[in-house]
Amino acid sequence: MFKPLSVKELNTQIQSLIETTFIEVCVEGEVSNLTKHNSGHFYFSIKDETSAIRCVLFKGNALKVKFDIQNSQKIVVRGSISVYVPRGEYQIICKTIEPVGQGALHLAFEQLKNKFYTLGYFDASYKKPLPLFPKKIALITSGTGAALQDMLFVARKRWGLVKIVHFDTLVQGEGAKDNIVSQIQRADSYYGGKDAFDVIIVGRGGGSLEDLWAFNEEIVARAIFEAKTPIVSAVGHEVDYVISDFVADVRAPTPSAAMEMVLPDKVSWLLRLDELSEELHTKLPRHFKNLGDKLREYGYFFENYNIEKKFKYNFEILVQLFEGLDSKIRSCIAQKNISILMEQIDLVMQNFLARKKYELEGVGGELAARIEGVKKGYAQILLQGKIADLETLQKGESIELVNEKGVVLAKVEQGFTKL
């Protein structure tokens, strides 16, 4: 007759049997009852239509999982079977976890992309414009990679008026994400100061999705989004896309293309300057000729419709009329015909005054209409109380500038110079 076993003894024997038999298992199922413990351990079950088995993913292995484990997710777990003797329970100690139907990295990429899209990190309203002529650029990339040399080559070829500072950065493997974040923050720390960078280019050459994964890390995306300096993401080849491409202000298909996008082309600008120079040499003489023609036209009108000239002409007429009147008066007095003389004087004066009033009103109206368009900005030059021509003035002479509103006293600082 068999000696009965204690519960512990039985569970211990079962533990020994199971753990030595199922050293490594690979199981596919659906995640359920997921618990993410503060310690960093994950506790969950995987199930199919009829059965379930408990699983545990300890912190060390959990850190290696790139995608976010969620309930109802179909996964493949690899690990070993372990029995918990006190309760007689067994579970899978997971070493690796992969999603069913696609690789873990691809799933993690889509999850992060959706997460940051929801947070608004990709919104165009957050994108900062690149300066047209950057004076200082920070390159955050590996010092041993071909990407650095490619960018420097393009920079020398396109635009020499720029200072480039290289921040040697780990862009692949363990610690790459932290180093990238550190260098972004370091370059951005100069923002607003005299040593500030106009643009930061973050990038590396091509590689597999795993090689480029540092640029998909959440902390890298946040560092790019929070930077005040405009950032260009230039990672991999044209067909490669990483999270930093969507968060950055500008995405460049390659590192070389990034430098072409950031720097102006000196050849194009030299051609443009030549075109502008030729245009100026053609248009400026024509423009100044038009101004000269207008100035001469204004001078002609001023000369021919000068107010003082018109009044001088009418004054001479008045003098002649008064002389004629005086002659008639003397003739009448000589004939001792006072009454006739007075009548003649009265009649002559009335006719004269009426005629001159009519003439003066006509002249005044004509002058007002013609001078209105030309008098603005013009004044009569008087030298010692007499009208003077501009070209006769000498340095040091005191003159008066007179228009219909008032007078300005001035002194000639320089003699007449022809245009």
Distance CA 400, CA 387 (A): 9
State residue 365's pLDDT score.
65
Do the bridges between strand 380-383 and strand 386-387 make them parallel or antiparallel, or are there none, so unpaired?
antiparallel
Residues 78-125 pLDDT 10s: 999 999 888 888 999 999 988 887 677 788 788 888 888 888 889 999
Residues 301-312 pLDDT 10s: 766 666 666 677
pTM: 0.53
pLDDT-derived band at 19 (thresholds 50, 70, 90) equals: confident
Give the start-to-end residue ranges of the domains of the chain.
Answer: 7-101, 131-264, 379-419
State residue 304's pLDDT score.
67
State residue 69's pLDDT score.
87
C-alpha 133: how far from chain center: 11
C-alpha 12: how far from chain center: 72
Residues 367-393 pLDDT 10s: 565 555 445 667 788 888 788 887 888
pLDDT, average across residues 36-53: 91
Q: What is the mean pLDDT of the chain?
A: 85
Distance CA 162, CA 403 (A): 58
State residue 374's pLDDT score.
47
* Percent of the chain clearing pLDDT 70 (strictly above): 89
pLDDT of residue 166 exceeding 70:
yes
What's the fold here for domain 7-101?
A: OB fold (Dihydrolipoamide Acetyltransferase, E2P) (2.40.50)
Residues 337-349 pLDDT 10s: 566 656 666 777 7
* Percent of the chain clearing pLDDT 90 (strictly above): 36
| Residue in 125, 182, 123, 152 with CA at minimum distance from that of residue 262 | 152
Residues 198-255 pLDDT 10s: 999 999 998 888 889 899 999 999 999 999 999 999 998 888 889 999 999 999 999 9
What's the fold here for domain 131-264?
A: Rossmann fold (3.40.50)
Task: Please write down the long-range contacts of 13-19, taking CB distance under 8 Å and 24 or more positions apart.
Answer: 14/83, 14/88, 14/90, 15/82, 15/83, 15/85, 18/81, 18/83, 18/90, 19/80, 19/81, 19/82, 19/83
State residue 303's pLDDT score.
67
State residue 319's pLDDT score.
79
Most confident of 55-59, 86-90, 415-419: 55-59
The full length of the chain comes to 419
Residues 186-213 pLDDT 10s: 999 999 999 999 999 999 998 888 889 8
Distance CA 307, CA 371 (A): 8
State residue 398's pLDDT score.
85
| Residue in 33, 38, 39 with CA at minimum distance from that of residue 91 | 33
| Cα-only R_g, the chain | 49
State residue 255's pLDDT score.
94
List Cβ neighbours of 75 (8 Å cut-off, separation of 6 or more). Answer: 28, 29, 30, 31, 46, 69, 97, 98, 99, 100
State residue 270's pLDDT score.
80
Residues 286-338 pLDDT 10s: 888 888 888 888 777 766 666 666 677 777 888 788 788 778 777 766 666 56
